[in-house]
Amino acid sequence: MKATAIAPSNIAFTKYWGKKDEVLRLPENGSISMCLSNLLTTTTVEFSPDFKKDEIIINGVDEAGRAIEHLDRVRKLANIDLKAKVVSNNNFPSGTGLSSSASGFAALTLAAAKAAGLNLSEKDLSILARQGAGSACRSIPSGFVEWLDGDTSDTSFAVQIFPPDYWAIADVVAVVSEGKKEVPTSAGHALAQSSPFMPVRLGRMKGKNDLVKRLIKEKNFKEFGELTEAEALELHSIMLTQKPHLIYWTTGTLQIMKLVSHWRAGGLPVYFTVNTGQDIHLICEQENIDKVRAKLKELDFVKDIIVNTPGEGARLVVK
């Protein structure tokens, strides 16, 4: 009753912000993302009658609460009552906008389900992962992914729209972290509706998602990049106009956002997107990875550069 899973973080081209059901983590809108090949969480779960209580070791820190709630969901599905030991490691910083909760809860979902003896479909794994952390549902399938806009738990899950090798684009992450973000994502989510602009945003999301899917299908990088960047700024405009306002950018984020426009004006096709944190994702075609990396290397405040291509979803590690 022990299993290890690896799951990727994902980068959303259209964002998840605001929930229509807090408990079930049903988002206000569907979203489109890509699994990231090099932002990974590896998680081992073991259930045993020898354990007296759940033990959760996340990157060496015990962050028990949400993980234990998630184990409870798995135990309920598997109809078992055993305590578990969970050991989880990220190969990247957490709490800085790289969506470690997505990779973390996707890996936990798959490892725990397997260790509990469940044999779940990709759809059921995605539904289960979503209940741990919304965007984790997008880290179950591989490649380019859509989180369907369902109104019930059974219809709110992620599916692959294109496999990883469909389109040779990349996400070059610039780590500019100056410590963890001050406001956890989940606290900000709950106040999305306090922005006067939220109804306008929600009215636009279906059309925006349809357009992103078409642009990926057509491999129209310019329009795809423009839409991705505008969507990130729209998300952050919602957060800036919430009560209280949320500012996730740091000086490094802002500098790179402005530099990207200059680099583009200089002939390098690259666009940014930013999640709820300071680290910034630069989207480019794979042929331009070296150029983007070279630009970032010139910046002394960039602490790390992580190059991602469209990656595999959550998978078991067979030892």
The continuous run of DSSP H or E covering 35 comes out as strand 31-48
Provide the pairing of β-strand 304-308 with 169-175: antiparallel
Which C-beta is closer to a second copy: that of 163 or that of 199? 199
Smallest distance, Å, CB 29 to a second copy? 14
| Residues contributing to the site for a second copy (CB under 8 A) | 196-197, 199-201, 204, 229-230, 233-234, 236-238, 240-241, 243-245, 247, 249-251, 254-255, 257-258, 261
Tell which residue, 182, 284, 238, 219, has the closest CA to residue 29.
238
CB-CB contact of 129 with 136 (8 Å): yes
Smallest distance, Å, CB 126 to a second copy? 30
Q: Which residues lie across from 273 on neighbouring strands?
A: 281
Neighbours of 118 (CB within 10 A): 17
Alpha-carbon separation of residue 144 from 51, 96, 244, 257, 306 (angstroms): 39, 23, 34, 24, 19
Angle at 279 between CA 107 and CA 112, to 5 degrees: 10
Which C-beta is closer to a second copy: that of 48 or that of 237? 237
Which C-beta is closer to a second copy: that of 88 or that of 278? 278
Which C-beta is closer to a second copy: that of 154 or that of 178? 178
Cα gap 166→18, rounded to integer Å: 30
Smallest distance, Å, CB 41 to a second copy? 29
The strand ranges marked E within 79-216 are 83-90, 144-147, 158-162, 169-175
Which C-beta is closer to a second copy: that of 244 or that of 266? 244
Smallest distance, Å, CB 223 to a second copy? 12
Smallest distance, Å, CB 170 to a second copy? 23
Which C-beta is closer to a second copy: that of 229 or that of 279? 229
Which C-beta is closer to a second copy: that of 23 or that of 265? 265
Smallest distance, Å, CB 20 to a second copy? 20
Smallest distance, Å, CB 260 to a second copy? 11
Is the omega angle on the peptide bond into residue 8 within 30 degrees of 0, that is, cis?
Answer: no
